[in-house]
């Protein structure tokens, strides 16, 4: 944002400076040229007036020579011609003579106003000596254009200096303005990121920047405080529900155990059925609490070695798989590091492996594999069980989405929540040859190639 604001203001300032300074410099240059020409013509008329006294009134050349000497001392070159275009007198320098000067003399003697040329750094001016239509002669004065060029260069130099100074001031002001606006926004962005990562006590500074940014920071702090209160309230409620539900369930199980002591026949069967329902209800409560905790999870990303966790969880579940007559294995894969919350991948794999072991029959197979796919670490849990219908797969990640599930129907909901909260994705697909494959796409750690 700082660069965008700075470059935008610089571009706007540059356009304004160009639109203001360039026309002004052009106008001042044109005025200097006009003033230079007028001064040159005035000096030529002075010499022409003195020359008329000699050519028309037949007075001595004293006055004319005096003016020619003054022109020479001023650095000009002047030449006086009579009515027949013959050279009468001139300054020591001959810059006012030649073909161009003769052309100007012919035009002046013909009663025309010539267009003085500019050649090789000098400017020529011609004026009649006497009346315009019946001149007694003509005067040509050549003046160096070095002074005019110097003044023109000074005008453009000062314009460039003013533009540069204005542009430098614009750079300083634009950078300060951009930082004034973007710095509190960057701080607010960092605070929002930390809040999203689970630091619920993070607050933004609301005293810097424009009024709109300060109001935004104050509103963000209010939202963060309410979010913190809601999350803490939900966590407290979950703890209370966990305690309030598990305690009576445990007491009920103990009483049923006492009643079952010595029971015979139908009474014993009913008590066993009641125990099974209590156990199922306990699992259901534990599953609901696990889903609630997963939905409230705001993980801090850590570097998790996917290959190591897969190996560990397969080793941990292998005794259960052997007891049920199921072959559980981990396929070979590269060493990958994912960005996940602490303990989340273990919980995800525990739920998926438990579901797979429940689904496959004896002598079935469950395989856990991982590989690098694009910019994700892909983990697949594959079984050769009965699979899942398309309608069941569409709602499998919802709570109690699969009514035909053998367990609580919450395992895949927990998996989906833990994967998505870490920025990954989960999907179900059929296993070639029969069965179900759960595919997880997990974000790679920042340093992972």
State phi, psi for 389 to the nearest 5 degrees.
Answer: -60, 160
How many CB atoms lie under 10 A from the CB of residue 383?
A: 26
Fold of 2-150: Beta-Lactamase (3.30.450)
The residue among 166 and 236 whose pLDDT is bigger is 166
Read off the tokens for 74.
């001023």
pLDDT at res. 148? 85
Distance in angstroms (rounded) separating the CA atoms of residues 163 and 261: 101
**CATH class of this structure's domain 299-443:** alpha beta
pLDDT above 80 (res 233): no
98 and 77 Cβ atoms separated by less than 8 Å: no
Question: Residue 297: pLDDT above 60?
Answer: no
- Residue 400: pLDDT over 70: no
Q: What is the pLDDT of residue 302?
A: 85
> DSSP readout, 190-214?
HHHHHHHTT-TT-----SSS-HHHH
Distance CA 438, CA 449 (A): 25
- The pLDDT of 78-101, averaged and rounded, is 85
Per residue in 209-223, pLDDT (tens digit) is 788 888 888 888 888
Domain(s) labelled CATH 3.30.450 in the chain stretch across 2-150
First to last CA, the chain: 29
**Across 265-290, average pLDDT:** 72
Task: Compute the distance between CA of residue 105 and CA of residue 113 in angstroms, rounded to an integer.
Answer: 10
The arithmetic mean of pLDDT across residues 155-173, rounded, is 88
DSSP, res 407: S
Q: Which two tokens stand for residue 205?
A: 């500074």
b or e along 202-226 (b: 16 or more beta carbons within 10 Å of the residue's beta carbon)?
A: bbbebebbeeebbebbeebbeebee
Kindly report, residue by residue over 123-144, the tens digit of the pLDDT: 888 888 888 788 888 888 988 8
Q: What is the rounded distance in angstroms from the CA atom of residue 83 to the CA atom of residue 136?
A: 5
Pairing verdict, β 425-430 and 77-82: unpaired
Angle separating helix axes 344-359 and 411-421, nearest 10 degrees:
150
What single DSSP character describes residue 424?
A: -
Residue 98 φ/ψ region, left for φ over 0, alpha for ψ in the -120 to 50 degree band, beta for the rest: left
**Can you tell me the mean pLDDT for 361-388?**
89
The answer to whether 422 touches 377, Cβ cutoff 8 Å, is: no
Is residue 439 over pLDDT 90?
A: yes
98 compared with 70, residue with greater pLDDT: 70
Q: What are the tokens at 328? A: 């559980």
pLDDT tens for 338-354 read: 988 878 888 889 889 98
What pLDDT is stored for residue 198 in this prediction? 67
Short-list 144, 91, 134, 141, CA closest to 116: 141
Choose between 195 and 72: higher pLDDT: 72
The mean predicted confidence, pLDDT, of the chain is 82
- Per-residue pLDDT, 211: 85
The ranges of the chain annotated as CATH 1.10.287.130 are 211-294
Chain-centre distance of CA 382, in angstroms?
42
Q: Compute the distance between CA of residue 248 and CA of residue 259 in angstroms, rounded to an integer.
A: 16
Q: Give, in order, the Cα–Cα distances in Å from 317 to each of 5, 191, 320, 351.
A: 58, 41, 5, 11
CA atoms within 13 A on the CB side of 134: 1
**pLDDT on residue 409:** 59
Confidence of residue 289 (pLDDT cuts 50, 70, 90): low
Pairing mode, strands 376-383 and 87-90: unpaired
User: CA distances (Å), 70 to each of 80, 92, 93, 181, 271, in order?
Assistant: 14, 12, 13, 67, 137
Q: What distance in Å separates the CA atoms of residue 286 and residue 242, rounded to the nearest whole number?
A: 8
Q: For position 407, what pLDDT does the model report?
A: 52
pLDDT tier for residue 368 given thresholds of 50, 70 and 90 = very high
Secondary structure (DSSP) of 96-158: T-SHHHHHHHHHHHTT------EETTEEEEEEEEE-SSSEEEEEEEEEESHHHHHHHHHHHHH
Residue 364 burial class via C-beta count within 10 angstroms: exposed 0-12, middle 13-18, buried 19 and up: buried
Q: How far is Cα of residue 19 from the mean position of the Cα atoms in its chain?
A: 30
Using a cut of 0.85, tell me whether the model's pTM lies above it. Answer: no
At residue 308, the pLDDT reads 92
How large is the average pLDDT for residues 70-91?
88
Q: Which of 411, 423, 449 has its CA nearest to residue 341?
A: 423
Numbered ranges of CATH 3.30.565.10 in the chain: 299-443
pLDDT of residue 298: 60
Q: What is the number of residues in the chain?
A: 449
CATH dotted code for 211-294: 1.10.287.130
């Amino acid at each position: 944002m700082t660069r965008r604001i700075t470059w935008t203001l610089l571009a706007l300032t540059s356009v304004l400076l160009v639109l203001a300074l360039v026309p002004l410099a052009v106008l001042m240059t044109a005025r200097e040229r006009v003033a230079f020409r007028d001064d040159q013509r005035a000096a030529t008329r002075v010499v022409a007036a003195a020359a008329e006294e000699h050519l028309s009134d037949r007075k001595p050349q004293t006055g004319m020579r005096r003016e020619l000497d003054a022109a020479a001392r001023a650095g000009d070159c002047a030449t006086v011609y009579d009515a027949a275009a013959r050279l009468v007198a001139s300054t020591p320098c001959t810059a006012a003579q030649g073909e161009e000067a003769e052309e100007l003399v012919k035009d002046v003697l013909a009663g025309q106003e010539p267009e003085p040329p500019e050649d090789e750094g000098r400017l020529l001016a011609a004026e009649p000596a006497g009346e315009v239509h019946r001149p007694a002669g003509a005067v040509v004065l050549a003046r160096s254009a070095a002074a005019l060029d110097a003044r023109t260069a000074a005008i453009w130099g000062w314009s460039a200096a003013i533009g540069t100074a204005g542009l430098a001031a614009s750079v300083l002001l634009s950078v300060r303005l951009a930082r004034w606006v973007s710095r509190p926004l960057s701080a607010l962005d960092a605070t929002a990121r930390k809040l999203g990562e689970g630091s619920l006590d993070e607050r933004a500074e609301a005293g810097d920047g424009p009024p709109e940014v300060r109001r935004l920071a104050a509103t963000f702090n209010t939202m963060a405080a309410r979010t913190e209160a809601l999350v803490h309230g939900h966590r407290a409620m979950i703890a209370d529900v966990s305690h309030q539900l598990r305690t009576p369930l445990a007491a009920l199980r103990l009483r049923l155990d006492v009643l079952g002591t010595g029971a015979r026949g139908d009474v014993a069967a009913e008590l066993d059925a009641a125990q099974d329902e209590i156990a199922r209800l306990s699992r259901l409560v534990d599953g609901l609490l696990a889903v609630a905790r997963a939905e409230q999870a705001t993980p801090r990303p850590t570097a998790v070695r996917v290959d190591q966790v897969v190996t560990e969880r397969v080793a941990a579940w292998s005794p259960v798989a052997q007891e049920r007559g199921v072959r559980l294995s981990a396929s070979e894969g590269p060493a990958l590091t994912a960005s996940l919350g602490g303990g989340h991948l273990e919980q995800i794999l525990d739920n998926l492996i438990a579901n797979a072991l429940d689904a496959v029959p004896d002598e079935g197979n469950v395989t856990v594999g991982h590989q690098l796919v694009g910019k994700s670490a892909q983990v697949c849990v594959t079984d050769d069980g009965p699979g899942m219908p398309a309608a069941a797969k569409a709602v499998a990640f919802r709570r109690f989405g699969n009514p035909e599930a053998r367990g609580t129907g919450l395992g895949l909901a927990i998996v989906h929540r833990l994967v998505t909260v870490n920025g990954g994705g989960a999907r179900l697909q059929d296993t070639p040859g029969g069965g179900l494959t759960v595919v997880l796409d997990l974000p790679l750690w920042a340093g992972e190639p």
